[in-house]
């Protein structure tokens, strides 16, 4: 691996994401040679930390994430801290000076990677200051930005303009960490390197798809943020739309980032807009209730007692073009559900004439907690008449499981080598916000009507079972 020389400037250097994900990811990239000698990391946040204190924090973060900390002292010595209020112009000037000094010291060729890892309400302010205070480097300048990118199409458009004042679209790396997950990255090879999959991956053979992203935790300490988001914005607009797109996109002309994005855009442009009746019937929202041990959503910290924010959504989406044009894609996601699991089920049409008791073939991609693909087939019951369901399982060998990189390691590595394949581009974002905005507007008009309570640790309100087109379909 050739070393990439750069200075990272992390906004939100004392935050939870930086501690749990970014520093361990950078350390792994260091061990793999993506960054080596010619790099520096400036962490910024409001607290008045010294460089040494920050280096200790980074070392702690590495120690918490791995047993193999060889080289961590040398690694952490490249980290510097700048106490920084994102609204204070003077602080950007100081940040620029420190960046210049470190560029000189580490010979980073004026390359800068900015990472926005703090409350999204500051993204626009930071972008504007980066532009106005001229803190771009002389080499390449890239921006990695966390979710959420805006709160609706309008605010996303404003943010995008603020960002584009300094960064070209191809230098903006919008993180959707699901796109960094192994199983999501396995979807294209599965679909397009296997002739048998390619042959059956179409509306003639696939009856429907189910995407479930279930969490067991409640909102924890993030009630304030969640009140401004809800499950639709927090999970569907980004992760679920990206997964659905990768499942439904037409075969790209080749595997370049450009062609993959073209193909994704083609299906996203064709999202079928639900009418008012469909909005009411096909999208079900819920909010978790409490029990003796757990709080109801409305009793959580920083949550309004009469909040109508949804913590669960189930819905049906359809694309108008591509191999799955017209195939219903059922989606659901929520907090305080029965399991923590991210899974895609692809349900094939039952076309057998001879066997009444044949089950539908189902191809399952489990994204979390394991990385497995499995296929339900029908076989003969041993020594008896009739059929028995059998599951073929594709999983990684034990010794490979530990090699699966964390999504953040992979994505920051991609940004270092300027590969934007697994990031969300502006056109994709625009299409998904347009769709989400319609649902949000419909719900805003309905108020709490249609917001169903569900008990903690179940799979959402029972109304989520009523969105299927076929009376025999149910959630898997
Ligand atoms: P956090 O609240 O833990 O950290 C926020 C950081 O911003 C802190 O370093 C804080 O000091 C700094 N900050 C706040 N106000 C500031 C100001 N006025 N000036 C300068 N610094 C200021 O947040 P987090 O959980 O690390 O999340 C950061 C981003 O990452 C968010 O966009 C979030 O949506 C995204 N994200 C987080 C996670 C996660 O697991 N934590 C997962 C996915 C996405």
Mean local confidence (pLDDT), 76-86: 96
Mean local confidence (pLDDT), 299-315: 97
pLDDT in tens, 124-178: 999 999 999 999 999 999 999 999 999 999 999 999 999 999 999 999 999 999 9
Decide the pairing of beta strands 451-454 and 284-288.
parallel
Mean local confidence (pLDDT), 311-338: 98
pLDDT in tens, 199-238: 999 999 999 999 999 999 999 999 999 999 999 999 999 9
Q: How far is the CA of 16 from the centre of ligand 1 (A)?
A: 7
Q: How far is the CA of 116 from the centre of ligand 1 (A)?
A: 8
CA distance 148 to 374: 32
Ligand 1 closest atom vs CA 120? 32
Please tell me if the CB atom of residue 14 comes closer than 6 angstroms to any atom of ligand 1.
yes
Interface ipTM above 0.85: yes
Same domain? 67 vs 188: no
Task: Assess whether pLDDT exceeds 90 at residue 267.
Answer: yes
Please tell me if the CB atom of residue 220 comes closer than 6 angstroms to any atom of ligand 1.
no
Domain harbouring 342, CATH code: 3.30.360.10
Task: Assess whether pLDDT exceeds 90 at residue 326.
Answer: yes
Q: How far is the CA of 46 from the centre of ligand 1 (A)?
A: 11
- What pLDDT sits at residue 455? 98
Same domain? 368 vs 220: yes
Same domain? 89 vs 196: no
Is 58 a domain residue?
yes
3-class DSSP assignment, residue 78 = coil
Q: How far is the CA of 448 from the centre of ligand 1 (A)?
A: 30
pTM for this prediction: 0.96
CB neighbour list of residue 89: distance below 8 Å, 6 or more residues apart? 129, 132, 133
* Per-residue confidence band for 77, with pLDDT thresholds at 50, 70 and 90: very high
Same domain? 288 vs 390: yes
CA distance 101 to 116: 22
Task: Assess whether pLDDT exceeds 90 at residue 327.
Answer: yes
Q: Is 239 a catalytic residue?
A: yes
State what percent of residues in the chain have pLDDT above 70.
100
Same domain? 122 vs 193: no
Same domain? 118 vs 188: no
Is 383 a domain residue?
yes
Same domain? 324 vs 389: yes
Same domain? 26 vs 103: yes
* Per-residue confidence band for 67, with pLDDT thresholds at 50, 70 and 90: very high
Q: What are the tokens at 380?
A: 């003969």
Task: Assess whether pLDDT exceeds 90 at residue 397.
Answer: no
Residue bearing the CA closest to ligand 1, atom 37: 17
Cβ contact 286:451 at 8 Å: yes
Is 133 a domain residue?
yes
Q: How far is the CA of 47 from the centre of ligand 1 (A)?
A: 13
* Per-residue confidence band for 1, with pLDDT thresholds at 50, 70 and 90: confident
Q: Which of 118-132, 332-346, 352-366 has the highest mean pLDDT?
A: 332-346
Range of the domain at 94: 6-146
E strands along 405-474, which residues?
451-454
Ligand 1 closest atom vs CA 177? 43
Ligand 1 closest atom vs CA 84? 20
Please tell me if the CB atom of residue 85 comes closer than 6 angstroms to any atom of ligand 1.
yes
Is 97 a domain residue?
yes
Please choose from 54, 81, 117, 151 the residue to mutate so as to test ligand 1's pocket, defined by most ligand atoms within 8 A of CB.
Answer: 117
Is 410 a domain residue?
no
Q: What are the tokens at 253?
A: 């002309």
Task: Assess whether pLDDT exceeds 90 at residue 92.
Answer: yes
CA distance 289 to 24: 36
Q: Single out the catalytic residue among 84, 91, 129, 239.
A: 239
CA distance 433 to 447: 20
Domain harbouring 122, CATH code: 3.40.50.720
Please tell me if the CB atom of residue 12 comes closer than 6 angstroms to any atom of ligand 1.
yes
Q: Tell me which of 100, 122, 146 is where a domain ends.
A: 146
Task: Assess whether pLDDT exceeds 90 at residue 297.
Answer: yes
Same domain? 85 vs 222: no
CA-wise closest residue to 286 among 308, 267, 259, 318: 308
Please tell me if the CB atom of residue 407 comes closer than 6 angstroms to any atom of ligand 1.
no
Q: Tell me which of 121, 146, 171 is where a domain ends.
A: 146
Q: How far is the CA of 12 from the centre of ligand 1 (A)?
A: 5
Is 169 a domain residue?
no
3-class DSSP assignment, residue 197 = helix
Please tell me if the CB atom of residue 147 comes closer than 6 angstroms to any atom of ligand 1.
yes
Residue bearing the CA closest to ligand 1, atom 40: 17
Q: 431-459 burial, b for 16+ CB within 10 Å, e for fewer?
A: bbbebbbbbbebbeeeeeebbbebebebb
Same domain? 205 vs 259: yes
* Per-residue confidence band for 471, with pLDDT thresholds at 50, 70 and 90: confident
- What pLDDT sits at residue 9? 98
Average pLDDT, the chain: 96
Residue bearing the CA closest to ligand 1, atom 34: 147
Task: Assess whether pLDDT exceeds 90 at residue 404.
Answer: no
Please tell me if the CB atom of residue 120 comes closer than 6 angstroms to any atom of ligand 1.
yes
Q: Tell me which of 146, 171, 192 is where a domain ends.
A: 146
Task: Assess whether pLDDT exceeds 90 at residue 403.
Answer: no
Mean local confidence (pLDDT), 248-275: 97
* Per-residue confidence band for 398, with pLDDT thresholds at 50, 70 and 90: confident
Cα–Cα distances (Å) from 378 to 344, 361, 362, 385, 443, in that order, read 20, 8, 10, 13, 43
Side-chain half-sphere exposure of 39, counting CA atoms within 13 A: 23
Same domain? 126 vs 196: no
Please tell me if the CB atom of residue 264 comes closer than 6 angstroms to any atom of ligand 1.
no
Number of folded domains in the chain? 2
Is 64 a domain residue?
yes
Is 413 a domain residue?
no
Cβ contact 439:137 at 8 Å: no
Q: 320-347 burial, b for 16+ CB within 10 Å, e for fewer?
A: eebbbbebbbbbbbbbbbeeebbbbbbb
Same domain? 135 vs 222: no
Q: What are the tokens at 260?
A: 């993959």
CA-wise closest residue to 109 among 213, 5, 261, 226: 5
- What pLDDT sits at residue 322? 98
Provide the angle, in degrees to the nearest 10, between the axes of the packed helices 426-446 and 153-164: 150
Q: How far is the CA of 454 from the centre of ligand 1 (A)?
A: 30
* Per-residue confidence band for 350, with pLDDT thresholds at 50, 70 and 90: very high
């Amino acid at each position: 691996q050739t070393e990439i020389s750069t200075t990272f400037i992390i906004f939100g250097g004392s935050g939870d994401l930086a501690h749990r994900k970014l520093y361990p990811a950078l350390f792994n990239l260091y061990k793999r040679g993506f960054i080596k000698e010619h790099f520096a990391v400036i962490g910024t946040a409001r607290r008045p930390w010294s460089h040494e204190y920050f280096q200790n924090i980074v070392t702690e973060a590495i120690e918490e994430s791995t047993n193999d900390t060889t080289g961590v002292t040398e690694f952490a010595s490249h980290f510097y801290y700048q106490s920084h209020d994102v609204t204070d112009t003077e602080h950007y000037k100081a940040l620029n000076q420190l960046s210049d000094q470190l560029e000189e010291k580490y010979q980073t060729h004026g390359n800068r990677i900015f990472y926005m890892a703090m409350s999204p309400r500051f993204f626009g302010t930071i972008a504007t200051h980066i532009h106005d205070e001229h803190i771009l480097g002389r080499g390449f300048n890239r921006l990695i930005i966390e979710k959420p990118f805006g709160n609706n199409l309008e605010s996303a458009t404003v943010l995008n303009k603020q960002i584009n004042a300094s960064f070209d679209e191809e230098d903006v790396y919008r993180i959707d960490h699901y796109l960094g997950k192994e199983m999501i990255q396995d979807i294209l090879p599965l679909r397009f390197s296997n002739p048998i999959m390619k042959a059956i991956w179409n509306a003639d053979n696939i009856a429907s798809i189910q995407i479930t992203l279930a969490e067991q935790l409640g909102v924890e300490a993030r009630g304030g943020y969640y009140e401004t988001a809800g499950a639709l914005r927090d999970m569907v607009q980004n992760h679920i739309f990206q997964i659905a797109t990768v499942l439904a996109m037409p075969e790209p002309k080749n595997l370049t980032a450009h062609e993959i994005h073209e193909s994704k855009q083609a299906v996203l442009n064709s999202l079928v807009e639900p009418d008012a009746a469909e909005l009411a019937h096909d999208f079900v929202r819920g909010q978790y209730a409490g029990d003796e041990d757990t709080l109801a959503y409305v009793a959580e910290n920083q949550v309004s007692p009469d909040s109508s924010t949804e913590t669960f959504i189930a819905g049906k989406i359809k694309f108008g073009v591509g191999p799955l044009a017209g195939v219903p894609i059922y989606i659901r996601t929520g907090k305080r559900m029965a399991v923590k699991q991210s899974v895609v089920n692809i349900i094939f049409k039952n076309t057998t004439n001879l066997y009444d008791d044949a089950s539908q073939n189902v191809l399952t991609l489990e994204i979390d907690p394991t990385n497995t693909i499995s296929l339900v087939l029908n076989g003969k019951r041993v020594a008896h008449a009739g059929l028995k369901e059998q599951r073929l399982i594709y999983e990684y060998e034990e010794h490979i499981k530990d090699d699966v990189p964390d999504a953040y390691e992979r994505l920051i590595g991609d940004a270092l080598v300027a590969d934007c394949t697994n990031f969300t581009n502006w056109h994709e974002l625009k299409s998904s916000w347009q769709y989400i905005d319609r649902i949000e507007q419909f719900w805003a008009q309905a108020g709490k009507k249609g917001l169903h309570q569900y008990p903690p640790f179940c799979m959402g309100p029972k109304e989520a079972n009523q969105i299927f087109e076929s009376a025999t379909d149910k959630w898997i």
